[in-house]
Chain A
Amino acid sequence: MNLNISRSILLILALPFSLSASLGRNATSVQEDLAKMQGTLRTSSGNSYTLHEIQTSTGVAVKEYASPVGTVFAVTWKGPFHPDLRQLLGPYYDEYVLAVRTQRAQRSGHGPISIQRAGLVIQVSGHLRSFVGRVYVPQQLPSGMHVEDIR
């Protein structure tokens, strides 16, 4: 048994990113993210949420915050490139692209993204070699958790 457990842990760690979740989906989708991003996973649980931290093979640190019922309500990333945002944002990706395009057209120039929609907050900044991003669904933050805790 013990052997089996350590084997499966090893397998999980060695597998290309298959254990993570997309925003808005069940935490089991963390596995899919892990597979897609070919990374390593570390999971830790707090009082009101579970944090899945993925180090992708391209050097991006991705964090996915899941609620006690297992829904991912926030994701962040930091690294030299963007992670696969279609994978990471899941069902929210199309809204993300539309919102960014709208702001881009409105701003008359380039700059970081700062979008506060009713059901989605998008914050992306930096430049090639140094990007940071934070996207979350404000209504789904567990009670007692603050926005500043997502980082």
Chain B
Amino acid sequence: MKPARLHEFFSFLLAGILAATVGCGGSSSSSTSTSSGGGSTPAVNNVQTITVNTGPTAGPPTNSPAINEAFTSVTVCAPGSTADCQTISGILVDTGSPGLRILSSALTISLPQQTGAGGNAVVECLPFVDGFTWGPVQTADMTIAGEQAKNLPIQVIGSATFTNIPTSCSSNGTEEDDLKSLGANGILGVGTFARDCGNACTVAGSNNPGLYYTCSSSGCQVTTESLANQVANPVAFFATDNNGVLIELPAVAGAETSVTGSLIFGIGTQSNNALGSATVYTLDPSTGNITTRFNNTTFTNAGFLDTGSNAIYFLDTATTSLPTCSNLTFWYCPTSTQTLSATNQGANGASASFQFTVANADTLTSNVTVGVADGLAGPNAGTFDWGLPFFFGRHVFTAIENQNTPGGLGPYWAY
């Protein structure tokens, strides 16, 4: 036993030295062990597995399989507690929004409620492109891989305590406060913004867009919400690896049931998240967009990379000659797979063209067990939305605004 243990010890020591050596070298070596770095500051495990599959809505009672949605799990604890914790799966990984949002129906622990003016509960209305989420702002310690975001303001969606949605909130369109309408147990927003609303919500009066409310028994009123109290991108709360994320997904051939990839925290902070040869495309800081050109159309500051969108959405039949599907009119259905070319350009002038494919969505999605489909695309008036298929076979970095990275200050995307 003793010699064996001694052998283990030396192996461990050797592995540590090797890991530290590679980590310091900053070379292009990629597959370093994520175990202890062995130096003065042991490396944190910054790799979280993500899975693209039919997701938590595939089975009964929702029976609504997802397609091209990347899911993962997070652990939330009452602040400061190591016992009052819960790990929740089926969380959508979204580079198109900031902040952690969890369905009330998926949350079994109770978290402290954030309070505002008059000691009343702070409740948020967050607009998405296809609707809104409504629910209280609460505080949690969130753990994912080896990273922890302490005292993180999160949104608990669809809480039974706050069922009266103010008209100014419900005027955003469709409510997405349960499993079926949200399509996930929650959303892990790891986009380029550090806070969801930003400065607009910190001012009083008519300039306030009305995302945050204080609610009492007599109703809810729009309130100001400081940046520090706003629902935040959890990555910015990490002690290390807090300047952005790297998403790695394998190439996908047509339709598959499932693929797995990695959500890696930090940019240039460890040996597994170096920018390497990736090109940095900085964003227009107010919109969080880049410029995309397709044929003769230029989307100036209206292109974006979004793991939360399940297809590549652009233009229409008149401009692309791609017919939409007969029933699924939000997707294209060309008779044969088309290879197209587009150019992305950053605010920094970095520009490169690349190819992408558009396949027949009816064919891709005909089998309900399919959870991943390359070539899924559809029409979109006004923006160029590079959804999850853009990420297949790529390593895509998302740098958070005002954070330092070896590629410069965020916000940017790099790939």
Chain A interface residues toward B at CB < 8 A: 16, 38, 57-59, 78, 80-82, 84-87, 93, 96-97, 100-101, 103-116, 123-134
Contacts and interface: CB of A to CB of B under 8 A. Distances in A.
30 contacts: A57-B205, A58-B210, A80-B286, A85-B171, A85-B173, A100-B130, A100-B174, A105-B64, A105-B181, A107-B310, A107-B331, A108-B66, A108-B183, A109-B309, A109-B310, A110-B130, A111-B311, A111-B313, A114-B313, A114-B379, A114-B381, A115-B329, A127-B129, A127-B304, A128-B127, A128-B197, A130-B287, A130-B383, A134-B381, A134-B382
Interface in B114-138: 126-131
B180 to A, nearest CB: 7
B198 A129 contact: yes
Residue among B127, B329, B330, B387 with max Cβ neighbours from chain A (10 Å) = B330
A127 B167 contact: no
Interface string B157-184: 0000000000110111110100011010
Q: Taking chain B's interface residues, is the majority helix, strand, or loop, or is none over half, making it mixed?
A: loop
Q: Taking chain A's interface residues, is the majority helix, strand, or loop, or is none over half, making it mixed?
A: mixed
Given A82-B173, A113-B130, A132 B383 contact: yes
Nearest to A60: B209
A113 B129 contact: yes
A109 B171 contact: no
B127 A108 contact: no
A100 B193 CA distance: 26
A25 to B, nearest CB: 16
Interface string B325-361: 0001111000000000000000000000000000000
Contacts of B67: 108-109
Residue among A85, A86, A124, A125 with max Cβ neighbours from chain B (10 Å) = A125
